[in-house]
Chain A
Amino acid sequence: MLKGEHLTKSFGGLRAVSSLDFEIQEGEIVGLIGPNGSGKTTLFNLISGFYRPDEGRLFFKEKEITGKPPYIIAQMGIGRTFQIVRPLPDFTLLENVRIAVLYGRHGIRDVKEATGKAEEILEVSELADKMHQYPLNLALEDRKRLEIARALAINPELLLLDEVFAGLNEKEIEKAVAFTFEIKRRFNLTIFMVEHVMKAIMGACDRIIVLHHGAKIAEGAPEEVAHHPEVVSAYLGKGYVARL
């Protein structure tokens, strides 16, 4: 469904993503992990069109999306969240979601009709009772949910989740993982997620891709990847592997 070929993106002398190949199949939940600065968010910014790759090409559903602007890519069916939540602060929760319905892929252009659809999505996201509040009054858990609800509201086929579990406590993470499965099933989504919280990613993903210094060092089922020596050394250092 989503395919990257030899993707490269440099910032000055730093190769944030270097010659990366990857593919995501329809219906999968794929995790993207790697130490800080390994290029995960850069890759998301390449896919969603905020950065143009220096080299390489991107395909979504067989169509090339390399270098297309973010609003075209979103319109084609790729929704995303931001690592640091970015609600529209002067919009209520309902308005935050409604704007995505109005411009998104539901084909709804009427404000009233969009309000109904937005309420429906907030209901699924368990935010319905807070829909007339402003995002800055919410707890972090709810703001993360709003971030997902808004991305869902464009009616995407592929959802890019950038660290939606970060900063949540254990109980909240369990709920969030369940929520991820729920939206995947209900909206028939493919999910590509960046995550640091190991417990969450091990439980949620079918497959994991590991990045280090912008290159892929491992790929496979969660169990395989977790014991892959290169992954362990990327996270914990070579000395740790030697001691094992």
Chain B
Amino acid sequence: MKPFLKTLLFLCIAGALALPWLSPPVYFVSLLFIVFMYVVMAESWVLIGGFAGYLSFGHGAFLGIGAYTTALLMNHFHLSPLWVLVSALPAGAVAACIAAVIGYPALRLRGPYFALITLCFAFVMELVVKNLDFLGGPEGLWLKAMGIDVGLARGIFFEVMFVLMVVTVLTVRHIEFSRFGVGLKAIKEDEEVAQTLCVHTPRVKLSAFVLSAFFPGIAGGLYAYYLSYIHPETVFNIDISILIVLMALFGGGGTFMGPIVGAISLSLINELLSAFLKAEYARVIYGLLFVVLILYLPDGVMSFFRKGKSADT
């Protein structure tokens, strides 16, 4: 890595860590918290959608599962709210288990069929949660107030989400160049050929799917407390699932850098557009952006940089 980039990266990390304690506008902290969350989601999604080429259109459901698991744990055991930092881990585990149950049959399907079944999964999850009384049903669930200063709480959650983001990015980066990542990419290229090369494709795919649900599950746990009131229509919103896919593909699904670029730029573009334009126009421009991108940079923004690199060699 170039020294310039290293310094920049260091400054970003230091800035992000310091930000909430410098009494900035609440809006900035909230916006960044959501951006971090989307980086976690899109980055995890890349494991199955980007590397293995199995486009999951239901990954938002794992965020919801994480949120509800944490809320139930906290309310059931009457835990002090700061325990959320611990109870978000089982939330990730629950999301991972559900991913294993869904993924086992779903990963036998390919292409559009897999995309459809994951999309259905996300819809069904929203319906199920809406209709189960012990999950609050259509009324949603309240989480107990933090009992500490609001600004301090916001700062803590901000930092934890930041750490989760860094861990997710580093994990995916490590996988990208590992044996596991190479196997996933081979599955994307030609699954049958991968099988003749001893790649145990069902196991490899399922591991990727389960891992790609784990991090969003944890993020969901944090998100639940951040919102302090969760409702099926907010945490299981299908828009989240679709946004994750768009972000990852916008940045470029084949590499760990893609979702970072995608999640950050799309969140910011969206914010800027809605700040300066009427919401209706903002949406039209947002949509046009995708059309242009898919036509001219189908492998995402990052492919633009990589093409430059391969031309040198």
Known contacts A102-B179, A111-B182; A90/B189 CB under 8 A: yes
Q: Does A109 contact B (CB under 8 A)?
A: yes
- Which residue of the partner chain B has the closest CB to A90? B189
Residues of the B chain whose Cβ atoms lie less than 8 Å from the Cβ of A110: 179
Alpha-carbon distance between A150 and B198 when the two chains are bound, in angstroms: 11
Q: Does A59 contact B (CB under 8 A)?
A: no
Complex contact B182–A99 (CB within 8 A):
yes
Complex contact B183–A88 (CB within 8 A):
no
Give the contact stretch, choosing among A72-80, A120-128, A217-225, A233-241: A72-80
Q: Does A100 contact B (CB under 8 A)?
A: yes
Complex contact A103–B183 (CB within 8 A):
yes
> Which residue, B195, B196, B200, has most C-beta atoms of chain A within 10 A?
B196
Complex contact B199–A103 (CB within 8 A):
yes
Q: Does B241 contact A (CB under 8 A)?
A: no
Complex contact B185–A74 (CB within 8 A):
no
Q: How far is the CB of B258 from chain A (nearest CB, A)?
A: 15
Residues of the A chain whose Cβ atoms lie less than 8 Å from the Cβ of B179: 102-103, 109-111, 114
Residues of the B chain whose Cβ atoms lie less than 8 Å from the Cβ of A102: 179, 182-183
Alpha-carbon distance between A102 and B199 when the two chains are bound, in angstroms: 9
Residues of the A chain whose Cβ atoms lie less than 8 Å from the Cβ of B178: 111
Select A50's contact among B183, B192, B197, beta carbons within 8 Å: B192
Complex contact A103–B197 (CB within 8 A):
yes
Known contacts A86-B193, A89-B189, A99-B183; A105/B177 CB under 8 A: no
Complex contact B185–A154 (CB within 8 A):
no
Q: Does A98 contact B (CB under 8 A)?
A: yes
Alpha-carbon distance between A16 and B192 when the two chains are bound, in angstroms: 21
Q: How far is the CB of A13 from chain B (nearest CB, A)?
A: 26
Known contacts A86-B193, A102-B179; A71/B200 CB under 8 A: yes
Q: Does A37 contact B (CB under 8 A)?
A: no
- Which residue of the partner chain A has the closest CB to B181? A111
Complex contact B182–A71 (CB within 8 A):
no
Q: Does A179 contact B (CB under 8 A)?
A: no
Complex contact B198–A100 (CB within 8 A):
yes
Complex contact B189–A80 (CB within 8 A):
no
Q: How far is the CB of A122 from chain B (nearest CB, A)?
A: 15
User: Which residues, 187 to 244 on B, are CB-close (under 8 Å) to A?
Assistant: 189-190, 192-201
Q: Does A29 contact B (CB under 8 A)?
A: no
Select A74's contact among B186, B189, B190, B198, beta carbons within 8 Å: B198
Select A98's contact among B182, B199, B201, beta carbons within 8 Å: B182
- Which residue of the partner chain B has the closest CB to A153? B197
Q: Does B313 contact A (CB under 8 A)?
A: yes
Q: How far is the CB of B183 from chain A (nearest CB, A)?
A: 6
Complex contact B189–A154 (CB within 8 A):
no
- Which residue of the partner chain B has the closest CB to A75? B198
- Which residue of the partner chain A has the closest CB to B199? A103
Q: Does A95 contact B (CB under 8 A)?
A: yes
Alpha-carbon distance between A153 and B198 when the two chains are bound, in angstroms: 10
Q: Does A39 contact B (CB under 8 A)?
A: no
Known contacts A50-B192, A102-B179; A154/B186 CB under 8 A: no
Q: Does A203 contact B (CB under 8 A)?
A: no
- Which residue of the partner chain A has the closest CB to B182? A99
Alpha-carbon distance between A71 and B187 when the two chains are bound, in angstroms: 12
Select B195's contact among A74, A89, A105, A151, beta carbons within 8 Å: A74
Alpha-carbon distance between A70 and B198 when the two chains are bound, in angstroms: 8
Complex contact B197–A150 (CB within 8 A):
yes
Contact with B along A35-60 (1 / 0, CB 8 A): 00000000000001110000000000
Complex contact A95–B196 (CB within 8 A):
no
Residues of the A chain whose Cβ atoms lie less than 8 Å from the Cβ of B200: 71-72, 75, 103
Complex contact B190–A88 (CB within 8 A):
yes
Alpha-carbon distance between A104 and B200 when the two chains are bound, in angstroms: 10
Alpha-carbon distance between A214 and B201 when the two chains are bound, in angstroms: 31
Residues of the A chain whose Cβ atoms lie less than 8 Å from the Cβ of B194: 99
Complex contact B197–A74 (CB within 8 A):
yes
Alpha-carbon distance between A70 and B197 when the two chains are bound, in angstroms: 9
Q: How far is the CB of A21 from chain B (nearest CB, A)?
A: 25
Residues of the A chain whose Cβ atoms lie less than 8 Å from the Cβ of B183: 99, 102-103
Complex contact A71–B193 (CB within 8 A):
no
- Which residue of the partner chain B has the closest CB to A109? B179
Known contacts A89-B189, A99-B182; A154/B313 CB under 8 A: no
Extra pairs beyond A74-B198, A89-B189, A103-B197 (7, CB < 8 Å): A71-B200, A80-B196, A90-B185, A99-B182, A104-B198, A111-B182, A151-B196
In the assembled complex, 17 residue pairs joining A and B whose CB atoms fall closer than 8 Å, in A order, are A70-B196, A71-B195, A71-B200, A74-B196, A75-B198, A82-B193, A86-B193, A88-B190, A90-B185, A99-B183, A103-B179, A103-B183, A110-B179, A111-B179, A132-B313, A153-B197, A154-B197
The list of the 4 closest CB pairs from A to B, nearest first, reads A70-B195, A88-B189, A100-B197, A103-B198
